[in-house]
Structure 1
Amino acid sequence: MVALQPSLFDPDRPVVRSLAARPGERGDVEETRLDLGQGAWLVLVRSWVLGADQLFGELLDTVPWRAAERPMYDRVVAVPRLLAWYGASDPLPHPALAEARAVLNARFRPVLGEALRTVGLCCYRDGRDSVAWHGDTIGRGATEDTVVAILSLGATRRFLLRPRGGGATWRFDLASGDLLVMGGSCQRTFEHAVPKTQRPVRPRISVQFRPVGVR
């Protein structure tokens, strides 16, 4: 896999910018909050992590990526992305991810009532890699409100969100360093996806921060 060339304006190391301590206050970055209905909400933060392409390259090279398979109808197929998973007690592969988790918990733990503790990573190698429509409903996300925060690194890819059962689709082009947080009932009342694209795109890494018991 080929890493992105870092921007000339990136700092010497990845920098996680602060978020507002609570709704209505200001942090180092501007937040866009969307109330989606049905108790679901979303927060979008552009350029949350400075030096994101450097972080992308280091994760691409050092994370022990694994390929996975899943059953589909009467056959087993390859999952169209590479995966890695870090439990609540596992050391994270880069100190910037521990810093990002701490900043997220300072902002969202009062809302959620518990900490974001696990970290999952997906590597989309090119435009053929994707994730189909789904909600993070393995575990408590199927019945409880929760928070899932996604840090996007590397190539810009489209992130889609729609209500379960049909309705208007929200489209977000997530660039390197952008943060998207889904909260409230979002995992059980909405679905999200990263579609395939025929455009030539470099790899992308998605970093997902979740509470224990939500997948």
Structure 2
Amino acid sequence: MKAESIPGEVHVNALPPGGELVYIREFIDRSRADRIFSTLLREPFWRSRTINMFGRKVMQPRKIAFQGDSGVSYAYSGDVHHAEPWHEALVALRTEIEREAGCEFNCALLNLYRDGRDSMGWHSDDEAELGSCPTIASISLGAVRRFVLRSKEDKTTKLEIRPAHGSLMIMRGDTQHHWQHALPRTALDVQPRINLTFRRIVRPPNRAVRRTP
């Protein structure tokens, strides 16, 4: 099946069986989104990390930061990450997103895509510490990039979104059990993009972590 595109300002899309994606195009007004983006882009907390892929270590094709409540840890990409304190720009945003999503979040994984060469491979946010049916809320800032979901059962069934600057996307229900998502590389000359993914850790991570692209 050819990938579909989500139009409009607010859209709720069923991801069978039992998953759901909510997309709100203008969750943050442009001036505020500009301020948050420029502030975070200048911060020194961004890190380049190596990840385990097929038994070897490679450089992750993006920069990351992990922030959250005191004592929160998250295991992915072959390592356990310990949360740094919340940036002040994320504190109020977190409350607003919790109100919209109808659940509480205790951490956020921040991704910085510097240009079109930076990317995120196919994966699901299905680590055990996120619980059985996690809700993942994602704020997009900066350049517009392709965000693609595909069914695990039928990889030709895809959904493509181009999240706008200041938009909010919420994945919930059984989405992580039955769907993968990715942010592909592009040959286009694109400016930086920041993605803030709010999530809730419900149990301590296991050191025996698996590979994530």
Instruction: Identify whether the pair has TM-score above 0.5, normalized to the shorter chain.
Output: yes
2:117 to 119, 122, 128: 128
1:170 corresponds to which residue? Answer: 159
Alignment correspondent of 2:146:
158
Q: Which residue of 2 aligns with 1:145?
A: 133
Q: Partner of 1:86 in structure 2?
A: 67
How far, CA to CA, are the matches of 1:107 and 1:75 in structure 2? 40
Correspondence for 2:92: 99
Establish whether residue 108 from structure 1 lines up as the match of residue 97 from structure 2: no
TM, length-normalised to structure 1:
0.78
Give unmatched runs, 5+ long, in structure 2. Answer: 1-7, 71-83, 206-213
CA deviations over 1:117-137 (Å, ceiling 9, x no partner): 111100000000000000011
Q: Secondary structure at the residue paired with 2:39?
A: helix
Q: What is the root-mean-square deviation of aligned Cα atoms in Å? A: 2.0
Instruction: Report the AA paired with residue 196 of structure 2.
Output: V
Alignment of 1:13-24 (within 5 A): none
Please give the secondary structure, in 2, of the residue aligned with 1:53: helix
Alignment partners' CA distance in 2, 1:150 and 1:80: 19
- CA contact 1:152–1:206 (8 Å) conserved in 2: yes
Distance between the aligned counterparts of 2:173 and 2:44, measured in 1? 30
Among 6, 18, 23, the alignment partner of 1:39 is 18
Contact 1:59 1:94 in 2 (8 A): no
**Quick check: 99-108 or 182-191, which moved more?**
99-108
Distance in 2, Cα, partners of 1:76 & 1:88 = 29
1:194 and 2:183 equivalent? yes
Q: CA deviation at 1:83?
A: 0.5
Distance across 2 between alignment mates of 1:99 and 1:153: 16
Q: Secondary structure at the match of 1:107?
A: helix
Query: Secondary structure of 1:157's match?
Result: coil
SS of aligned partner of 2:100 = helix
TM-score normalised per structure 2: 0.79
8 Å CA contact retained: 2:140, 2:166: yes
Q: Which stretch of the first structure deviates more once superposed, 122-131 or 69-78? A: 69-78
Distance 1:167 1:213, change over 3 A: farther
Shift of 1:55: 1.1
> Which structure's relative contact order is higher, taking Cα pairs within 8 Å and 6+ residues apart?
2
